[in-house]
A and B are shown apart, each in its own frame.
Chain A
Amino acid sequence: MGRGRHIRLFPMPTDFEPVTLSRPGEDEVSLLDILDHVLNAGVVIHGSVIISLAGVDLVYLGLNVVLTSVETALRGIRAEEEKRRLE
Chain B
Amino acid sequence: MIRALAYCGFCHRPEISLPATGVQSATVQAMGEGELRLLWSEVEWPFAAERMQRSAVEFHEVVHHVFRQAAVVPFRLLSLFDDESTLARFAAEHARAFVDDLERLKDCVQMECVIYPAPGRGARDDGSGTAYLQEKAALLRAQDEQVNALRSSLGGLAREVRVREGKNGVRIFVLTERGQEAEFRSAVERVPVSELLSRRTSGPWPAAEFLSERVRAPHVAGAK
Interface residue ranges, A against B (CB under 8 Å)? 7, 9, 21, 27, 29, 31, 33-35, 37-49, 51-55, 60, 62-63, 66, 73, 77
Contact = CB atoms under 8 A, between A and B. Distances in A.
Contacts of B76: 38-44, 66
B78 A49 contact: yes
Contacts, number: 100
B218 interface: yes
A78 to B, nearest CB: 12
B181 to A, nearest CB: 8
B92 to A, nearest CB: 15
Contacts of A53: 49, 52
Give the one of A31, A38, A60 with max B CB within 10 A. Answer: A38
Contacts of B79: 42-45
Interface of A is mostly: mixed
26 contacts: A29-B202, A31-B53, A33-B202, A34-B57, A35-B53, A35-B56, A37-B205, A39-B76, A41-B208, A42-B74, A42-B75, A42-B206, A42-B208, A43-B6, A43-B9, A43-B74, A44-B76, A44-B79, A45-B75, A46-B219, A46-B224, A52-B49, A53-B49, A53-B52, A54-B50, A54-B52
Contacts of A31: 53, 56-57
A39 B211 contact: no
Interface of B: 6, 8-9, 46-47, 49-50, 52-53, 56-57, 59-60, 63, 73-81, 202, 204-206, 208-209, 211, 215-220, 223-224
Given A44-B217, A45-B220, A46-B220, A51 B209 contact: no
